Amino acid sequence: MMHLSSVSPLVSLLHLTFLFFAPVAVETTVRGCVDGRDKDHRPLINCTSAGYRDVPSGIEPTTKVLLFPQNQFSHPSWTSFTVFTEIHEIDLSRNQIPSLTHSDAPILPSLAVLRLGFNQLRALPDHCFSRSPALTELYLQNNLISSLQDQSFSGLSKLEILDLSNNHVQTLPPRMMHPLKAIETLYLEGNKIKVLPDNWFSQKNEVPYLYLSANPWACSCSLGYLRMYLEEYDYNVYVKDGPIISADAESVYDSL
Ligand SMILES: *[C@@H]1O[C@H](CO)[C@@H](O)[C@H](O)[C@H]1NC(C)=O
């Protein structure tokens, strides 16, 4: 007869060893997706390049981070995100989203990070993010955005990072920054902006990280506010070269 008592410690040890060395990312039952944790230990599902057009079924409703970069989303149904009642981050970068229709969308009260870079967005209508009032980071770089409105970012009083780099923006609406009372980092480089409207930063004068390079800033008296602003806050102006970020107020004048 076998003495189980002499075997079980070894079994437990093997079991423990497996637990300790189990890979962090685990295949899920959702095709093409992998489970994991983000850097702050939030449960995430990573469906990078999995070919989805909308949120697939079978994802745990307690998931807080949904990663769908390089999928086929074109008209995502925001309603399909409401089952994730504690959602923190949605990554829909590198999809084919042409427009945002938030008017009939449900509220996503906990969403803090939304990544929509490298899509085909052309315009940001008034109030299009107002149903995600907890957003702190909004990434819209490398779209085709040419049309911005005074109320494009209405309701985003907690937003700290706004990335509009590498779009086709020509004109900055005079009151666009007014709702952004917490803005810390603003990326506007790589657009077609000629004029910074008078008192554009009046609601929160100091934006600690400001990226303005690679725009055709017009050399005329309408540049008055930009010049005045830069004289006071030149130490907040940065340029980004890939991952390298450096303080460089001259970057703005390069194109003057
Ligand atoms: C998600 O998966 C992709 C490809 O499988 C990988 O490159 C990326 O680093 C993953 N992201 C996270 C946050 O785990």
Predicted confidence (pLDDT) per residue in 180-226, tens digit: 999 999 999 999 999 999 999 988 889 999 999 999 987 655 567 88
36 in ligand 1 pocket by Cβ < 6 Å? yes
Task: Please tell me the distance from the alpha carbon of residue 122 to that of residue 130, in angstroms, as a whole number.
Answer: 18
Predicted confidence (pLDDT) per residue in 118-161, tens digit: 999 999 999 999 999 999 999 999 999 999 999 999 999 999 99
Q: Whose CA is nearest to atom 6 of ligand 1?
A: 48
Task: Please tell me the distance from the alpha carbon of residue 253 to that of residue 256, in angstroms, as a whole number.
Answer: 5
Task: Please tell me the distance from the alpha carbon of residue 4 to that of residue 26, in angstroms, as a whole number.
Answer: 32
Best CA proximity match to 79, nearest among 67, 87, 70 = 87
48 in ligand 1 pocket by Cβ < 6 Å? yes
Q: Is there a contact between 125 and 148 (Cβ–Cβ < 8 Å)?
A: no
Q: How is residue 75 annotated by DSSP?
A: S
Return the best residue to mutate from 48, 52, 88, 91 for the ligand 1 pocket (most ligand atoms within 8 A of CB). Answer: 48
Q: Whose CA is nearest to atom 4 of ligand 1?
A: 48
Q: Is there a contact between 167 and 144 (Cβ–Cβ < 8 Å)?
A: yes
Task: Please tell me the distance from the alpha carbon of residue 116 to that of residue 138, in angstroms, as a whole number.
Answer: 8
Three-state SS for 123? strand
Q: Whose CA is nearest to atom 10 of ligand 1?
A: 46
143 in ligand 1 pocket by Cβ < 6 Å? no
Q: What is the atom index within ligand 1 of the atom nearest the CA of 25? A: 14
**pLDDT value at 30 more than 90:** yes
222 in ligand 1 pocket by Cβ < 6 Å? no
46 in ligand 1 pocket by Cβ < 6 Å? yes
197 in ligand 1 pocket by Cβ < 6 Å? no
**pLDDT value at 23 more than 60:** no
Task: Please tell me the distance from the alpha carbon of residue 170 to that of residue 192, in angstroms, as a whole number.
Answer: 5
**Cα angle value 147/66/118 (rounded, 5°):** 30
